[in-house]
Each structure stands twice: as C-alpha cells, then as structure tokens.
Structure 1
C-alpha cells in the first residue's frame, strides 16, 4: 500500500478512493480508529430505491427464500439507510436480516466469545486492518473468501487492502473513508477572539491559552469513551513518518520501535501538556462522545476533534447555529499539516461456519449495487462520500476548503503500522494513566511496543521471529 497520495491523485479519485477513525458524530472507527460510529444513525424517512427488473425477475423465478440472517455489529455501525435497504432486500428475496446491535464497549468481547466457541452469526461486523482481521478475527478460519465478488472491483483499493490477507478479500467496507477526524472549530468564536487556523503545535497551544483567558473551554474531548482520545496520537501518523523517514516501514519490519521514535515521543508529550493545561476542560475524564454535539452547540467549547459530520448534529442540537458556522483543520500535533486518511472502517464479514453463506453473500452484493450505495450516501447526513467508484459525493464548501488546505495526504498510523489498531483501547488506557501520572511518556511507548511484540509473535511474524 502506498504511504502517500498526491493531491492530484486524491482529487481525481474522489469518487472512489477519497469518496478520517470509526463515522457519525463522535462514536468510533473509526478508528476509523476506535470501536464505534455515530450514536445517531442519521437515517432518512425516504423509501429505499425500487428493485431492479433483473432482481425482481430473479426473485420471482427462483421463488423467495424463507431465511433469516443473523448479523451482529457494534453500536453506530449500522445506519438507518442500510436498514431501509434490508427491508427492500427482504421484499425481493424473502431473506430477513436480524440485526443484533451490541454496545461498543462490550462488542469485541461478545464477538470473540462467539467466534472462539464456533458459534458465529451469519454476518459479523469488525474493524478492518491487516493485523486486526488476522489477530482479532482470524479471518482465514472464521470468514468466507469474498475475492470473486463483483463489488470488489469497485471498492476503493486501499480499503480492500485493509481487508485482505495473502491475496484474498475477507470483508466488505461501506464507509466514508474521506471524512477523517479533524478539529471542528466555531468560526464565530475564532473571529471574536481574533484567532486563525494554527499551522504548528506552538500556534495551537497559544490559541488554546487565549481561549481559556476569554473564559472559553478550548476543546471538548470525550475521554470516558475509552478510545476517542487515542485519535490525537494516532491520526497525525503521516507527519511522524515524514519527520522520521521510513518510520512506518521500519516499525513493520521491526527495525525500530515506538519508544525509540523522537516524533512519537514529541506527540505524546504535547498531548500530555494539553491535558495538564486544562485544554480539555475539567470534566474530560467523564465526558462522552454522545454529548459532543450538545456541548459544541452550547457555545462553551471552541473546538472538538471529531468526524466532519459533527456539524450536522450541532445544527440539530441548536437551530440557531448552522453547519456553516464551523470550519475544519487537521490536528497540529508535532506540527502536522498533512491530511491523514483512514481507508478502513467498520466492515462486514461472512462467517465461514454459517448455514446461509450464499444468502449472506447475496446481501453484501445487494448493498454494493451502485444505486443502493448512492441511496445510503444520499440518505445518511453523517457521510459525504462512500469508498466506491462512480458515486456523487456531498462535500460541503468547508470540506472542499479543508481538502484544498492540505494537499499532502497520508495514511494514519493505525491503518499502516501492524499491531496498532488491535490495541487501540489499551493505548487509550495508557494515555489516561499518563494523564493521571501513573505512567510517563516513555512508559506508554514501551507498553505499546510490548503489546506489538506479543501480537507479532502470536502471528508468527517473521520480522519478530527470525
């Protein structure tokens, strides 16, 4: 996978490749990084697109099936628009989708228990990423090979790469991979305080201090969710790789580690300083992502690291505020000015031990029809594009401005460096321990290295087992 994407390539492929951890307002990814998506499904009352003549003919010719597919997923991963399509799919085929939504903080334990017991559902959701699908889901054993499916030819190649092992595709990602988690800022507050978008960490720090002096909390940061604050460290990964050339590849080859990296140490040091200076407010340890829109809509906070769709939720929470009242810039940790891309996201796997494998494949093929992808895009206010070619995007003027501001782009650290995404929540715990003084910066980096080593040895990675 290429580390860097030029602006011209990115713009040329906006319909597919760029059609930003874990969608929605502030739930994961997305990681994206992280484990969730929006707490608001953001669906529409519009009806699903009419069935095609071919589909209707096929259904009537073969007769409807009396089949129920069980599908488990983490909260926030299944949007209302997809559920509307599932109803239409059932009307056409007779195949019912039984969605079982598990709270984000419990989901992976539930999924692992089912997979380890050999009792997986017909379909299961999971985050993409090579180390994630290998270690957490053991897809070569637990998931069906989907390489021959037609939709794989239209899905973003970078997304497919995050779903592949040894040349085989094991899942389908339908996600807005272009809307990275960026700093969402209140343009009125910035204008009133004479502030401009920062280009360095020093400028960002000075900006936050000025906001505090004016009685405004600089940032809303929902640390209680366990995963969100890790984004500050992971998303600016391309900058670390730029400051320390070949860092990503050297980490994957076990030629270096996190603890030996100057840029990674700088990043954690700055994040710790942000917390110590109170930039996240007094209640960050108990703040949750579900409150992000309301908190930003109150006017008490100037910024939040969030998915770009947060502005839509702010407008809903406070009709006196408009989505256009907010702008975006990248997290300037370690002086980052690179637009980081997360080509992965919540994905759909067909369980290899399921009784209805062909029907599950049929459902994924149905979702990936161009007209159904466009329906999901058009009827989900939390997304601006999806990671398939040939779709009409919904980028706002502010998003277009964001892309223009940062022509240099790269993949975030968790989606390029092996054995990072699977320990996302553990990194979050370590960072909280660092905030409280129980760990220092070096301790956190060494802890990440130890978990990477442990996972690499389990995976029999030759770079660790030579």
Structure 2
C-alpha cells in the first residue's frame, strides 16, 4: 500500500504559496501584526532556568509570512528568552509580498537566522533552494517525534531541512448546516450526483448552497487539488507516474471529470451571484448570516460562526469531504508553514536550540491548547482537541490520502496560476482540459529548471 493512502481509525497526520492548503490560510487572529514578543533581553551573565548553562545575549531574526506565527508561539518565545537569554525578533511580512522579500534576502546572502516557508519537496527545492540556503536538521531529536509524512515533505536527498509544527489533520472539508439539510430532508452526499442534487434542492428553497471566495485567487483551487487521492485510486499509480513524467494531467480522466464537475457547479450558480468578488476573510460572517448552507473550510469554522451569531451553535454544523469525482477519501495535507535555519546565519546553533525548545512535548501541548484553530499537531504523544463532529468525520472516512499538491512535484508552486486558469474556465475562456494542459506546461518548465531527470533524459 502506498505511503499516501492508509486505513486508520484516528488521525495523527496532517494548502500554496499563499493557500491551501493546508491549514495554511485559516482565519484565526494571530500575532502577525506584531514584529516581536514583548520580552526583555536576558543578561549574558545570568544562569538559565532549569539548566546550569549561562544565558546568551543574542537576538535571532525570524522572517515569516502573515498568519504563520500564532500568539501562543509568541508566548513561547518569551519563555525561551527567559530560559536562555536568546531573543526572537519576528519580522512579519504581508503574505502577498513575503516570497519576494525572502527571495531577495536569500539571493543577497543576507538571510535571517530563521525563515518560514511552505513545505513540499518541489517547494523547498525551487522556491527556497533549501540544499543551499538551509541547515541540515536530520540529527535533531524532535525529527523522530514529528509525523513522518510531514518530515518527508521537508526532505531532499535524505536530509531534513526544516521543522513543521502545524495542525495537519485540520483539512479543508465541506462544512454544512445540519438544520438546513434536515429541513430539506437531505443526507450527507457520497457521490457528486447526490451532492449536486442536494445543492439544487437547497438553492430552490431560497438559500445559496455554497459560499466560495474566488476573489483571493487561491481558495477555489482546493476543490480540484484536495481530492487527489481519489484520482490516484481511479487511475492507479497516478501520483508516482506524474512524478516520474510517465503521464500528465491532460490525459487523466479523473482530473478532467473533477474540473468538469467544478465548472458545472459554477454554471449552475451553486456558489451564488458574487463568488468572483467574495473573499475568504468574510467566510465566517457570511455563513453566520444564514444565507449560505455550506462552505469549504477548515474544521474550526463552526466555532467562528457561533462567536459571530450565538443563535447558530457550533454543533449545528457537520462535515464531509469534497465529493468531486465521487471522492470518499479523507485527504490530508501533511505539510504547512515550516521553519528553516539559514545556512549563512551567525547563530545556527542557537536557532537549532529554539526549534528544539518549540518541539518539547510540554511546549507543543501549550501551543495546541492555546491556538483556537488547532485541534491537534503533527507530533506524537499530544492530547488532541477534536470535537464530536470531527471525531465523527474521521470515523466516517477511515481511508486517508495525501492531497495532490503535497505529493506530486511542481504543483504547489503554481497554485495561484492554477487559480487564474480555473477562473478563466468559469468565465468560458477555457475548457477544463485547457486548465490541465496549462498545469502540465508549468510543471515541465519547473522540472527542466530543476534539472529533474524525468524531464531531462
């Protein structure tokens, strides 16, 4: 059985440049507007708490994209400074500017001590040139406790180049209003045909079936990318053949089916009249208004809705997977925002020390317990916060698989371009097969730049 598909009863697993994918774009307020934690600098002559080591008067710079650093991590940074004297200077960059800023710093040889980046083999190779710019962390103790699928996303040629601490189990699923479904006599769909019929019945009742924020450029790509394990099931060995350049997107019948169904959903008006201008930031508000029955979102959305509209309880909402191409596999994203130690930094050992501190079990549990959008983390031995509906979701879909962007090379780096292609498809400027052709062209271009032997025979 392949590593990306397994049958299990509980999840310990885990979306794009700015997306996806996985819990990578949740809407929980974070400390991203504050550049540094408000901890005082330790004196180098003091003794660190819980150890006999002398404190160090050092500041580590950490460059990260907006929403990647949670408030609880800021608090842990204060504790780390109290213990070691090492101060963490968080330099938070708006998401749409982050990669350009990071690339400039890395190319100039003036990178920060630590930098953030999305995981994924092609991502860390092409976008961050991890083998040159990042330190090999393979020998760190926490690597053994991190989810192996997460570690694999950060590994090149047998070396681990970053640390992911993220709720990789909180996949984007369809959050649905159970009261609306009950009023319309609907059950959770298990096929695309059932899903379409349910949505049309909801639409006929005067409720917009789905809130889909296309304006951000990334969210609508999830509909196509997340059911990747189903494509691999219907077209056996698809993932491996794509990575070996033995097949392509254009000729994949399951992927063509999925995009064709997505276009049909748009054409039927299931996303409402304003999908192209609707935004991700407004999702909770719109769902709380009662005007929409469903949304593709992480599993913390019901709690957000209840805070906005107490008349709607979190327990009024349930979950099911994207049923395009009749998918019934629970797709997981084993990656997420990750921490790299810059190879040209002056404080490499101290940066490793900070990553080790964050990965201590008690600190992981603190981060989990104090981050509202996290229900679990991708490390063993933690006490999760799964709701009853999440537990039901995991029980309903015992078969798990890795989404396409985190397994197939050269997909995640073109996420926003894929979003533009799909918008063109919605508007009639392109057919579903044209979207697949565009993905193939960009994959080929990236593979040749990377000197991928599959494309350079």
Secondary structure at the aligned position of 1:225 is classed as coil
Structure showing the higher helix proportion among its residues: 1
Structure-1 residue corresponding to 2:6: 5
Identify the match of residue 423 of structure 2 among 407, 428, 432.
432
Partners of 1:28 and 1:327 lie apart in 2 by 27
Structure-2 residue corresponding to 1:457: 448
Structure-1 residue corresponding to 2:27: 38
Aligned residues: 443
Deviations 1:420-460 (A, max 9, x none): 11111111111111112222212111110011011111111
| 1:180–1:340 contact (8 Å) kept in structure 2 | yes
Is the aligned partner of 1:328 residue 2:329? Answer: no
Superposed, 1:343-422 pairs within 5 Å as 343-422=334-413
Partners of 2:445 and 2:318 lie apart in 1 by 41
| 2:19–2:219 contact (8 Å) kept in structure 1 | no
Residue 55 of structure 1: CA displacement?
A: 6.1
Is the aligned partner of 1:282 residue 2:276? Answer: no
Partners of 1:423 and 1:39 lie apart in 2 by 25
Is the aligned partner of 1:259 residue 2:242? Answer: no
> Unpaired runs of 5+ in structure 1?
49-53
Secondary structure at the aligned position of 1:302 is classed as strand
Identify the match of residue 245 of structure 1 among 236, 250, 261.
236
Deviations 1:173-218 (A, max 9, x none): 0011111100001111111121111111111111111111111111
| 1:38–1:77 contact (8 Å) kept in structure 2 | no
Identify the match of residue 234 of structure 1 among 197, 209, 225.
225
Structure-1 residue corresponding to 2:106: 115
| 2:164–2:338 contact (8 Å) kept in structure 1 | yes
Identify the match of residue 49 of structure 2 among 34, 51, 56.
56
Deviations 1:358-414 (A, max 9, x none): 111111111000000000111111111000011011111101100111111111111
| 1:147–1:169 contact (8 Å) kept in structure 2 | yes
Structure-1 residue corresponding to 2:62: 71
Is the aligned partner of 1:104 residue 2:95? Answer: yes
Partners of 1:29 and 1:408 lie apart in 2 by 24
Deviations 1:26-84 (A, max 9, x none): x9653128x634352399xxxx9xxxxx96143xx433222221112111111111111
Is the aligned partner of 1:86 residue 2:77? Answer: yes
| 1:29–1:37 contact (8 Å) kept in structure 2 | no
Alpha-carbon RMSD: 1.9
Partners of 2:225 and 2:288 lie apart in 1 by 27
TM-score (normalised: structure 1): 0.92
| 2:20–2:218 contact (8 Å) kept in structure 1 | no
| 2:19–2:218 contact (8 Å) kept in structure 1 | no
Partners of 1:224 and 1:117 lie apart in 2 by 34
| 1:211–1:217 contact (8 Å) kept in structure 2 | yes
Partners of 1:100 and 1:265 lie apart in 2 by 42
Partners of 1:255 and 1:30 lie apart in 2 by 26
Structure-2 residue corresponding to 1:125: 116
> Unpaired runs of 5+ in structure 2?
33-38, 40-46
Residue 4 of structure 1: CA displacement?
A: 1.0
Secondary structure at the aligned position of 2:49 is classed as helix
Partners of 2:77 and 2:244 lie apart in 1 by 43
Structure-1 residue corresponding to 2:44: none
Identify the match of residue 315 of structure 1 among 285, 298, 306.
306
Superposed, 1:116-265 pairs within 5 Å as 116-265=107-256
